[in-house]
Structure 1
């Protein structure tokens, strides 16, 4: 097996803005811009060249430096892509207008498949399907069956027989019969078919019976259900990106309350995402999650995200982001601190080593800077008793080295 290639992180806008802000705030502490880049970038988890590019672009966006702003670049790139797609679509439509019959009606699927087959070498299957509004999978399936009818499954062949009988009964009723009555009629005609099959085929072909008028009532949306507890207080993982735990805490400052969120990978107890904010909203914990997803790039499924029953973690935006990334959700079943003990432990360590040790605190910026330095040290230098008195980063590096060695040996 080949070794896994390291993916380039896709940093979020919030993460880039944070890096630029930290550089500007801490620039006086260093002798040069380059020195500041090289000192701050590793703590953020990016290269110094990346941080430099962010800072230069931020200066352009603020009008402090000549060059295209981020908005102008994005707009230019979008326009170039749009022009390219429009030119391709225009060429496809020109050829399609000469190929299909006039009249404006949607061409039959076999005719569209023949057109795609003829021009796929020039435009590609997906661009043509996008213009003709046909799924690429439909083309591939029909084309394969057209080349070899034996490839059609038994179900597909039976569906072709069943739909003709369904259409006959539906037409005989002048469109009045729904699935239930059509199913009963087919049984009377001694055609053995399941009712769910009738419903599926009618839905697939856009057939339906008449529906009686019903009085509409207002139905309130049910409360979003709480995910199951898939951890059950067993905070153990056999490899990185198998189980993440998350929680946040608060810090009292002279300027008001500040909140700090963490996401920890259970395997090596490594902090993979964090965020400092003055507001305790869903966006606050979502930023920490986005940082973790962008830097870790979890793939292949199997990753569980565990949290307590806080409203931020049960919000629709947060759960949808987890779903988009293919991450399974888990929430403590009882709701006490033991259900999220590992995250509570890390937060307790953070409050002991940073908040209580270095306080009192004047502002959020001060808390954020010290949190940045502590997370960097925690991940790369601090020895952790639960993982054999080694830093989390070292434990992960050792794991991947062993995996690569086993893969090469295999």
Structure 2
């Protein structure tokens, strides 16, 4: 009707012509519709759809979408609440994500990289699949995975604090040997000794949990743990569930950062240097921005900071639940 009005026709003439064609509409209805303000739901939907659209658009510098496109319905609901849409419901998020064509990341199958130690002497499993602890620096879990590049495999090792799921350190190498995983461990020890929040503590008394790979059961690595005062703990052979906390991080890294359609990639990975750049960016996002359901949808850094802020005040559980809400 607006188009026809631009051609010089009156509203009544247009309504009469439409009625003759079987589409009955009155001039009063048209004018009421033109003056009526859009519904608040329509405005909110449009704002959220714009936000979801912005997440999917390639950044001018990196030419990649935002990492939050990896979120499914639950995490996107929390993320939107933290970014200006406090009253949005999960049902609205689900409806608008479907409308925007966003499904979140679907985890893929993991490929095993563990090569068991030939001897039968190894530390016991001190966790027994209990992957929860009440403070930082009580249990560290570690593992490594591989990344295919044009120059061959690049291996990536992570050391993770079980309390906050924070990746404290990482290392890369074109060989998966003891020196490679030991580098990641030493970087974790250095990080904790120099971090103000952790009171500069050493590794003495920390349980160090890994799988039964030969890199972690070697004499050299075992001696390093003993010298640093860490308590070794090793899962049973051929059972990924005994190191599930670390396996989960490996899976997230492969699916969120390494996958071909990852928002952290701009093209093929040619060398170890490309993998290093990938790990640097993903680990920073993982620690400081990625929402974790096991942490009440906080980030690892937020979870640790909350612990140290509340350690001399009210109980941590109460403070965490308030922040999560």
TM-score (normalizing by structure 2) = 0.55
Q: CA deviation at 1:251?
A: 0.8
* Residue 250 of structure 2 corresponds to residue 347 of structure 1: yes
- Give the match for residue 384 of structure 1: 292
* Residue 268 of structure 2 corresponds to residue 360 of structure 1: yes
* Residue 241 of structure 2 corresponds to residue 333 of structure 1: no
**1:395 aligns with one of 265, 288, 303:** 303
Question: C-alpha separation between the residues in 2 aligned to 1:267 and 1:244?
Answer: 8
Question: C-alpha separation between the residues in 2 aligned to 1:258 and 1:391?
Answer: 27
Question: C-alpha separation between the residues in 1 aligned to 2:203 and 2:281?
Answer: 32
- Give the match for residue 238 of structure 1: 134
Question: C-alpha separation between the residues in 2 aligned to 1:381 and 1:306?
Answer: 26
Work out which structure has the larger RCO, using CA pairs closer than 8 Å and 6 or more positions apart in sequence.
Answer: 2
Question: Whose helix fraction is larger, Structure 1's or Structure 2's?
Answer: 1
Question: C-alpha separation between the residues in 2 aligned to 1:349 and 1:300?
Answer: 26
Question: C-alpha separation between the residues in 1 aligned to 2:224 and 2:138?
Answer: 17
1:41-120 equivalent positions in 2, closer than 5 A: none
Q: Secondary structure at the match of 2:125?
A: coil
Question: What 5-or-longer segments of structure 2 have no aligned partner?
Answer: 1-60, 62-117, 194-200, 316-325
Task: Give CA-to-partner distance per residue, 1:258-289, whole Å, 9 cap, x none.
Answer: 00000110100000110111111111000000
Question: C-alpha separation between the residues in 2 aligned to 1:308 and 1:405?
Answer: 37
- Give the match for residue 287 of structure 1: 183
**2:278 aligns with one of 363, 370, 375:** 370
* Residue 186 of structure 2 corresponds to residue 278 of structure 1: no
Q: Secondary structure at the match of 1:313?
A: helix
Question: C-alpha separation between the residues in 2 aligned to 1:345 and 1:373?
Answer: 19
Q: CA deviation at 1:316?
A: 1.4
TM-score (normalizing by structure 1) = 0.44
Q: CA deviation at 1:335?
A: 3.2
Larger Rg: 1
Question: C-alpha separation between the residues in 1 aligned to 2:271 and 2:119?
Answer: 37
1:61-210 equivalent positions in 2, closer than 5 A: none
- The runs of 4+ residues in structure 1 deviating greater than 6 Å are none
Q: CA deviation at 1:369?
A: 0.8
Q: Secondary structure at the match of 2:176?
A: coil
Per the alignment, do residues 394 and 340 of structure 1 end up closer, same or farther by CA in structure 2, a change over 3 Å counting? same
1:307-318 equivalent positions in 2, closer than 5 A: 307-318=210-221
Q: CA deviation at 1:252?
A: 0.8
- Give the match for residue 228 of structure 1: 124
Q: Secondary structure at the match of 1:405?
A: coil
- Give the match for residue 102 of structure 1: none
Does structure 1 conserve the Cα–Cα contact (< 8 Å) formed by 2:211 and 2:235? yes
Question: C-alpha separation between the residues in 2 aligned to 1:332 and 1:365?
Answer: 32
Cα RMSD of the aligned pairs, angstroms, is 2.0
Q: CA deviation at 1:300?
A: 7.5
Q: CA deviation at 1:224?
A: 7.0
- Give the match for residue 151 of structure 2: 255
Question: C-alpha separation between the residues in 2 aligned to 1:251 and 1:361?
Answer: 9
The number of equivalent residue pairs is: 187
Q: Secondary structure at the match of 2:214?
A: coil
